[in-house]
Every structure is written in structure tokens, then in C-alpha cells.
A and B are shown apart, each in its own frame.
Chain A
């Protein structure tokens, strides 16, 4: 049946494309009654004058209707609907190029003057028009307001500590002008947890001190049981967390349930701005229902067919169990790639507290030797069914910046060279057990601290432990709570830890390479150096190569051409490959994605990634649809 549909669909698409001009846009059946009763305007009036037409390449035209069920672990997780829905001013498409989505277009001059063109006639989910006023309200009454944002606008809006000049050109056009190029602006708008630079002004003014009399405000603060009006404003206006069902939104589905609840119902946004190639308003699916259940039960519930689209809380080791339920419960387990540089990587703490460890961890040859003595193929075969990729912690093969020499650098199993390297750096003496000794006579015993919620990390580590033992390095494994782990890394108590690899393993040159340079405290190999550049505390990096990374990162942000950016990326990746700041153990571990058999347009092969990707976001979830007769 589905094969037949796949076969005839291209023809159907063609036919409908021809007939499109002739007929009027069809009304959404789910809303037809409200339109007939005059409660809602007709679809032509609900859509912007020029609706967004996302690419349907490789997709089918869908039918309206249906209810999509998903499972989440906590009621806070409903914020994922903003991630999956992925209506952004500008957003990535599935090829990871930036496209205007909510905006009609965006003009960029010199990388520093951004002119945003709003679609005339675009409306919030409550029917109010979306205009320049919503941007002005955010900028003047929220982001630069002394009570609401005492710390100033978000970081991506600041260039060398200067906010942009904001202008309203006309009702549908706004402009941001910085002194220097701002390459962080658009990626922040396109992020999975986006920077919202607009707010529903008509709604939020009801909770803003500047638009109310004192008595009105006091009454509202009191009824909402808040301490002050800032608390009131913030709690009413959470555009990411979706805790206020009354808050108008531009996302494809609108939350209708007030938390806390075990079940959240999202209904279609009647004013959503995207259409399919035949002019039908998206989304196809009328309702999304999110059931909250303890995260440990999600695989079991998914396996018994209680979710139509599920990836969150599923892991590769659930794969066989999920496969068993496929036939009985009519779903399909797709296997998607993941987008992190490494699934598990070891982070030598170069800012460790104890001087002898700090010195050793900062020694590139020591890190190289450790990396060479990991048998990655063994890890892949024993723990990941041979389905993962054994490589170093660098960008993934699917990224245009990938080079095999980065992935292979010190990543082949070579205990002989590793031993040689260790001998040359002064660790040639061994004790009776065969463990190498520091020059001061103490054994090289590395305590690896790992966030121990599952046994996966410890399973992998115990394999590494065996192969390190062969080159005379003793490892001890200590699973601790994630949050304690962070603290120990920051304080320098932990000499080595495990964590994910590069957050973005699928970058293109236009994306910031900040993950490769010390920029944040949560980079576990150099947390103190990262802290220095994040908040001006911590320490300055003493290593020349790391200093070079800092310079390169800076150079990227003022680079004017793609070629230049490309060169900087490769230089940084090459430094990482040769210096082995982190030891990638395994990469491209796959993500099971369970899809109901009657749910169409979910890609079979794709990437499940936070940023860029927004999980299902870049695959245009509003285009997913249910085949009726199979349901």
C-alpha cells in the first residue's frame, strides 16, 4: 500500500500543482466549523499575504487531521514543542542552510546591518497582527528595561559590549545596526532554544508597569501570587517554556493545558504561516498530545505503541526491545545519526588542582599516548553492535569541514608507540605491578569521574581501563552525580572526566568555532581558561597552542569571507587533532526514532541533534501527516 502511494505521489503532486491556481485554498476541516460560525476568519485571511513555502523535496503532500502522541519525562519538557515546532525568524533547513521562515526576508549589509522584513498580514495565534511593534516592545520594554533586564540584552545581541542601534523603519520592517560584524546574531535566532527578539506586545502590555496604573498592576500581581511585577511579567511571557496557555505564539501548535499536568494538549495554530506546495495551510496534524511519564518507562511505553513519534529518552540499547514491538504495535524503528563530535570523550583536566597532574595533563605527548592506547574498534564491537564510528573527537564525516586525518589523528590502537611516548616524557620507571611512576615515585593512577546515570559509560571505561593497563597506566572509575561532577571539574579536583564530545559535530564554516577555543566554563578540559573568557574570572591559558585557538576564534568573528572562515576552522581543527585536548572514544552512536506506521514525511535517515537541528525541528514537523485508513 505505502509503496504504491510512494510511486504515484510524484504524479499526484504534479497534477495538484497544475490545479493549484484554479481552485481556492481549501479550508482546514478542524477549523471549518469555527470559520462557518464566524468565530475565525477564513484561511485566506488567516495566512500572511505571502505565506512561507518550505521545500517539500522528498516529501509527500499530506492530508489534514489526526492526533500525534508523544511521551516526555517531566512537565517542563513541553518546551520541546518550541524546539520541534521550529518556527524561527530565520531557521536552518534540512541541508543546514539558513532560510527566512517567520520573516519574509532579511537583508544583511557588511555583516553588521540587519534589516528584518516581517510578512505583512502575519498574525499571532490569537489573531492579533505581528508587526514591528512586537520587536520594539521587546527591545525597549524588555531587553533594555532597567527592571526587567538589569543585566542588559542577551549576549548574542552585544558586540564588544555595545548593544545594536534599533530602528523601526515602518510597520513591517525593523533594523539592527552594530558597529562591528555580528556573526552570532542569526545562529542565535535559529537556535533550538532561540533568542526571542520579539514578544506579543498587545498581550504582554497587560503585565508591564509602564502600561498600567499602579492599582491595576498591584491587583494583577496579587491575583497571580507573585512577589513583584517582574515575576508576573516573566511568568506570563515565557515564549520558550510555554507554561502560559494564554500567551500568543507563532509556533505551529499552541499549548492549551496549564501545568502541572500529566497530559498536555497542543492544538493547531490557526494563523500558522507555512503552506504546502498546493497552498494548504500547515500543520497537517491537528493536535499534539504529550503524556508525561517517568523517563525510565518511556522505552517500555513506546515499545507498546503509546507514542507516535519518539526519540527522547530512547537509547541505542533499547533498540532490540523496540524492534520486537514493531509488528504488533504498528510502528517502525528508524535509526538516525547523532550530531555530537563524540558520543563519549575523555577530558583530561588541564586546570587540575594538583601541580603534578596539571603538568602531566598539559603535556601533549601524554594525551597522545592515552589516545593511542584506546582500542576504539573493540568498544564499537563490544558495546555498540559495531554500528558506531571509532574516531577522535572532531567534526563528523557529514560536515563539509571534515577531513579523515582529523578523525584518524592518534585514534588508531597502537600500544607500542604509546609506550614509547610515555617513556620519553619521563614516565619510564615502573613499579612491581608494572604501573608507571611519576619522577617523584608515585604511581600514575588516574581516577576518571563519570556521570553515572547509566552503565553505558562505565562499560566503555572498563574496556579502556584494560587497554590502558597494558601500557602501564592504571585507571579507576568513579560514577558520581552529574552536578557534583561539574563542581569537581571546575574546582580542579577531578583530573579526568567523561562527557559528550563537541556539541556541534556538523558545523559549516559560517557557524562559530567557539566550541574549539576556551570560551566557556563547561569545557571540561580547560574549565578555568574557559571561565576566563566567559566571565573574566579564572586563569589565562599559558599554552601557546591554546592561545592561538583563542586568537583564531576572535579572528573568525571579524572574518568577512567564507573562505577566511573556512581556513580558520581548518586551522583550529588541525590544532585539536594534533594536540588531542580531548580523547574521543566513540562517535556517531545512533539514535532510535520510533515512528507510527501511518505517520508520513518523517525522514528515514536523518540527524537527531540539538544545535543545529532542533531534533525534529529542521525536518519541518508541521509537514508530518497521518494516513487515515491505517490509523
Chain B
């Protein structure tokens, strides 16, 4: 096992190097650079820019250097924990992302918990009552959540919340609480705003989870040991949870790999529509304005979390499921 883990960690290094090159190339692919998109934005609002000053900035930001040199500067900084400098915010990248991280994690955690709360009972119910009306009905609900465009649902919910509950539109709290210390009122305000993104993002994830749980469970429930156990008079609930449910949870554990990055990035599009103070909109804006160090470092961070997440879920799977462990041993 330890040698397996070390090997996995070593293969992560070339993976990350390749990802970093790809990330950098893709960010550079659109024509122009940050300054040009900045000028275009200013002009659309009627402002004008002095070309001399732009040349000066281009030199100051190092945008006049060849691409490989820019890449090298970025990567060497990144390895030493310097995430680079955001042109758009005129701040180190770490400062830009830092504050938003906690709210992003908060929204994501609530969303994930809600997804589980909805998906698990429905999935279990559907699997134990397959092809019944209730199975179809509940699955239909899940698919409805998957199929409704998130941004549309978000807008509709915003409107309804504002019309009937008087919640202020967008954001995660009423504006007077921003930058205030935490208090009971602030918490109340956050909770009043939090349910919309949680429901919107959550509904889109439930359908997938319901279907996977149902399929895995159905496979197990048809196996002879279940029949035997039932014949021997084991209660239905215990019958379900004792082995079949545990055996069908592998997909759930391998999901951890993709869970980690999504906790940090939040759902970008919904966050933009709802104007959430999370990291998603920052990433999107950074990509649009070619704020390359902000976008690059953030994407790299997500990539690292994905790679680590996959490793963690692999190890967890190996520990939890003896069948996977055995196979690993046989290959050696």
C-alpha cells in the first residue's frame, strides 16, 4: 500500500506540469491580452485611454515578454506559493480569492448536504420499488431538476423570493451586513438568501445521484444472498442497509475526487446569475478579461484539488472495498 501511494504521488507531478502548460496556453489562446480587453471595456463605457500609458503598463506587467518567459515566471512563483498578481484587482491573487473562499465553501457544503438528503432516500425508495408509479414519479422529479436550466430557475426563484418574501435580489446577505462582524441578524440574513442557490444548484445534482444509487442497488438486490436473507426473515430495512447499500456506495466514494474542486469553485453560472460573493464569478470574469495570473492560478489550484481528490478517493475505495484491494495486490 505505501509504495502504491508513493507511486501515485509521483505520477501527480508530470500530470500537474502538463495541466499547467495547458492552462497557460488556453488562457493565452484568445487574441490580445489583458490590457486590450481592459481598453475595450473602458471604451464601451465611453472612457478613453492614453496609448502611452498602455505601453507603460504592458511593460510593467511583463506582457511584452515572450510567452514561455511569462509561463516560467508564473510557474516558479506558483511552486514557491506565490500565486501571482491580478491585473484586474491590482492585488496579489491570494488576497483576491482569500475572502471569498469561506462563503464558497459554505454554499457548497449546504448544497452537497441537500443533494444527499434528497437523493439518498429517493434512490433507495426507487430501487426497492422499481418500475412502480412512485419510482417513475420521483425519478421524473429528479430529472426535472436536471433538465431545467439552472440560471433560469435561479432567476425565477429570485423573482418569487423578492415578490413574496421581500428578500433582496442576489448576493448572500442584505447589503448592510457586508463587512460587518457576524451577528444573529447577519446569520438570519444569510440563511434567507442561502436557500435559493442551495436549491438551484442542489436540484441539478440530485438526478444523477438518484439514478446511480438506484442502478447500483438494483444490481445488488437481485443477488442470491439477498434472496436468502429475505427467506430467512430478515426485516426489509435491515436487509437493505446491512450489505446491499454499503456495496453500492462505491460510486459515492469515487465522487469525492470531483467533490473537492467543486466545493471551492462553486457553481459558476448560477453564482454569476445570483451575484453570489463566491469564487465562481471571479474565475469567470478573470477568464473573460484575460487576467491570466488570477485565472491561471485558480485553475491550477482546482486541478491540484482534483488530482488530490482522485487520490484520496482511490485510497478510500481500496480501504473500504476488499475486492478492489485484492485486485491491486494481484497486479503486483
Contact = CB atoms under 8 A, between A and B. Distances in A.
Given A297-B170, A482-B40, A151 B56 contact: yes
B169 A291 contact: no
B255 interface: no
Interface of B is mostly: helix
A263 B36 contact: no
Interface stretch (A52-60, A107-115, A253-261, A550-558): A253-261
A296 B271 CA distance: 12
B45 to A, nearest CB: 7
Interface stretch (B5-13, B91-99, B302-310): B91-99
B40 A486 contact: yes
Contact of A306 (B46, B88, B90, B169): B169
Given A293-B275, A482-B41, A486-B40, A260 B91 contact: yes
A84 B196 CA distance: 35
A294 B175 contact: no
Given A75-B89, A260-B89, A263-B179, A294 B95 contact: no
A74 B43 CA distance: 16
Interface residues of B, number: 46
A291 B31 contact: no
Contact of A483 (B37, B45, B56, B179): B37
A534 interface: yes
Contact of B277 (A262, A534, A611): A262
Contact of B91 (A259, A487, A503): A259
Contacts of B159: 300
Nearest to A301: B169
Nearest to B276: A294
A483 B32 contact: yes
A225 interface: yes
A343 to B, nearest CB: 12
B254 interface: no
Most A C-beta atoms less than 10 A away, residue of B39, B46, B53, B171: B46
Nearest to A340: B46
B92 A225 contact: yes
B175 A610 contact: no
A304 interface: yes
Interface string B73-103: 0000000000000001111100110010000
A590 to B, nearest CB: 16
Nearest to B168: A306
Most chain A CB atoms below 10 A, which of B92, B179, B273, B281: B179
Given A243-B90, A482-B44, A610-B47, A487 B31 contact: yes
Nearest to B82: A225
A341 to B, nearest CB: 12
Contact of B158 (A155, A193, A243, A300): A300
B272 interface: yes
Given A151-B52, A260-B95, A300-B158, A483 B170 contact: no
A263 B169 CA distance: 15
A297 B169 CA distance: 8
Contacts of A534: 51
A483 B281 contact: no
Nearest to A76: B88
Contacts of B285: 74
A150 interface: yes
B199 to A, nearest CB: 18
A155 B274 CA distance: 43
A535 interface: yes
A154 B49 CA distance: 11
Interface of B: 30-32, 36-37, 39-41, 43-48, 50-53, 55-56, 60, 88-92, 95-96, 99, 158-159, 162, 168-171, 175, 178-179, 272-275, 277, 281, 285
Given A260-B99, A291-B178, 10 more contacts: A151-B56, A155-B50, A259-B90, A297-B273, A297-B274, A301-B169, A482-B41, A482-B43, A487-B31, A521-B51
Q: Which 6 A-B pairs have the closest CB atoms?
A: A610-B46, A263-B178, A483-B40, A294-B275, A293-B275, A482-B40
